[in-house]
Amino acid sequence: MQPFVILDAIAAPLDRPNVDTDQILPSRFLRRPRKDSFASFLFRDLRFNADGMEDPAFVLNQAPYRHAQILVADRNFGGGSSREQAPWGLVDYGIRCVIAADFGDIFYRNSLKSGLLPLQLDQSVCVALREHLHAFPGATLCIDLPQQRVMVLDGTHHEFRIDPFSKRCLLEGLDDVGFTLQYDADISSFERSYEERFAWLFDSKS
């Protein structure tokens, strides 16, 4: 998992509320192995018309925002069904941070485990940030995870909260497997001592 420390990147305003996980990654694209990218399926029914052509009204199809790595959304981002493919799609597309007033609980946890920072700010702040991004298309935001701060080009900044464990995992680029492997030596030591204490469990002749 790619570490997240400081992200200074183009931000795109996503004005619609209640963007659920089926809008983020439609269910018909879920049956793919993780090694295959989900980028082309992100917001599939919002980014593309029925004929498969891009919808020019969708923000990520507009020139200033095509390479955005930050989304500034509205309320209830990632609600709906639990699917880890939703944050996978965002990360595979290149989005590393979603700012919103609130998130679906399961989406929030899945995001942190996938290297995506779900950053919660007050509704009024989210509105102000989106207005700023509309006024200055292609503007960047700076997300400083060590300082837990969002910085805007006009000099304003906003503090955010994140639990210490999730913060550490993002900073070090650790998913659940990576975190567990940090204790590989301790696990191996325990396995050896356990086998010695209960050798009869491992005796193939018994």
Strand 6-13, strand 70-72: pairing: parallel
Strand 149-152, strand 70-72: pairing: unpaired
Domain-located, residue 197: yes
Beta-carbon contacts of 124 under 8 Å, excluding residues fewer than 6 positions away, are none
On whether both 119 and 23 belong to a single domain, the answer is: yes
Mean pLDDT for 186-200 is 77
The model's pLDDT over 84-97, given as tens digits with 9 standing for 90+, comes to 999 999 999 999 99
The model's pLDDT over 87-130, given as tens digits with 9 standing for 90+, comes to 999 999 999 999 999 999 999 999 999 999 999 999 999 999 99
Q: What is the CATH number of the domain that holds 143?
A: 3.20.19.10
On whether both 59 and 109 belong to a single domain, the answer is: yes
Domain-located, residue 132: yes
On whether both 162 and 70 belong to a single domain, the answer is: yes
More confident site: 200 or 132 = 132
Which range of residues forms the domain containing residue 85?
6-173
d(CA 174, CA 115): 8
- The per-residue pLDDT for 15 is 96
- The per-residue pLDDT for 191 is 75
On whether both 54 and 89 belong to a single domain, the answer is: yes
Strand 6-13, strand 140-144: pairing: antiparallel
On whether both 164 and 107 belong to a single domain, the answer is: yes
Instruction: Report the number of secondary-structure helices (H) and strands (E) in the chain.
Output: 8, 7
On whether both 53 and 132 belong to a single domain, the answer is: yes
On whether both 10 and 67 belong to a single domain, the answer is: yes
The model's pLDDT over 142-169, given as tens digits with 9 standing for 90+, comes to 999 999 999 999 889 999 999 999 999 9
- The per-residue pLDDT for 198 is 80
User: How many Cα atoms within 13 Å fall on the side-chain side of residue 174?
Assistant: 15
